[in-house]
Amino acid sequence: MAILFWVSAIFTKSSTYTKTINIRLVTPDSMVLANEDFYDATITLSGRGVDLAKIGSFDESKPLEVFVDSETSILTNDNIKSCLSKKISNSKVKIVEVDFNSRTLNLDKKISKTVPVKADINVSFSKLHTLKKAIQIIPEVVKITGPKSYVNNIKEWSTISKTYNDISKSIEDDIDLHKPKNSFIKLDHSKVNVNIEVEEVSEKKLIIPVKTLDKKFENSQIVPRQVEITFLVGLSMFEHINENSFSAVIDVDKDTTQNNNYPVTILKKPKYVKIQNISPRFIQVYNLENR
């Protein structure tokens, strides 16, 4: 009986109650905060114990929501107190104090923008293997939503760094996008699918013509006028590669001669072809009357 009396006295006796609460700022749908939207404040309430016990905890799971708009440039004690009083429907509970350091708010227009995904991938292949085609990223883009002043400056969004070493077969993998550094930036998805198609390569040789890079020397005497190139190419492209797939030139107008011998440069080649050798490596040029 004494215990029940003691408990009853506590709940019916008037007292003060101080605690730290969580605050979440709420904006209109067309606006967004370009700074943090979660804060905390210390509040002191007075009232009977039984009434104070009914007040919400306003913790991280159910914070006190404070509405702000373009007219609110500074978050103050008064803003918080006004919202708190609306949440406390019991007239017997009084707000004694709200302890909060005022914060300047950066409220901006909310926009969305779609940018390409940049795959931060490093790939090395085992011997006699190469890419079959360009690495595929699915989806290739990501939609970013946030303050206009931030989103307008974003040109692309990168994945986390990932390395695949010495691969000899195709790989399909999910890679996370970098998480936004600021909570007010939102992505419409958090990862992408990466498809790296790999195939074996084989050696192939072709005889291709050599031309001068500058047409004013095209009537000069070039010896020889053809070179043999040795290269590695994926099996899927082996039969499709021919002499028209390459362009070999010498730059007569450039001071790279060695006793009238000019180095051969492969100016054009298919994307995943790897040149192994050019023979001969130097071409002799005569009758440079236009030089």
Which of residues 50 and 226 earns the better pLDDT score? 226
Q: How confident is the model at residue 289 (pLDDT cuts 50, 70, 90)?
A: low
What is the CATH number for 218? 2.170.120.30
Classify residue 291: in a domain, yes or no.
Answer: no
Q: How confident is the model at residue 12 (pLDDT cuts 50, 70, 90)?
A: low
Q: What are phi and psi of 127, to 5 degrees?
A: -55, 135
Residues 22, 95, single domain; the answer is yes
Which amino acid is residue 30, in one-letter code?
A: S
pLDDT at 10 over 80: no
Residues 181, 238, single domain; the answer is no
Q: Which domain holds residue 221?
A: 200-286
pLDDT at 9 over 60: no
Residues 93, 114, single domain; the answer is no
pLDDT at 7 over 80: no
Residues 100, 121, single domain; the answer is no
Q: Determine the Cα–Cα distance for residues 122 and 165; give it in Å rounded to an integer.
A: 8
Residues 31, 123, single domain; the answer is no
113: left (phi over 0), alpha (psi -120 to 50) or beta: beta
Q: What is the mean pLDDT of the chain?
A: 86
Q: Determine the Cα–Cα distance for residues 234 and 132; give it in Å rounded to an integer.
A: 7
Which residue, 227, 197, 199, is CA-closest to 211?
Answer: 227
pLDDT tens, 97-150? 999 898 888 889 999 999 999 999 999 999 999 999 899 999 999 999 999 999
Which pLDDT score, from 0 to 100, does residue 256 have? 56
Which of residues 92 and 232 earns the better pLDDT score? 232
Residues 205, 142, single domain; the answer is no
pLDDT tens, 214-240? 776 666 777 898 999 999 999 999 999
pLDDT tens, 167-202? 999 999 999 999 999 888 999 999 999 999 999 999
Residues 99, 129, single domain; the answer is no
pTM assigned to the model: 0.69
Q: Determine the Cα–Cα distance for residues 271 and 264; give it in Å rounded to an integer.
A: 19
Q: Determine the Cα–Cα distance for residues 150 and 158; give it in Å rounded to an integer.
A: 16
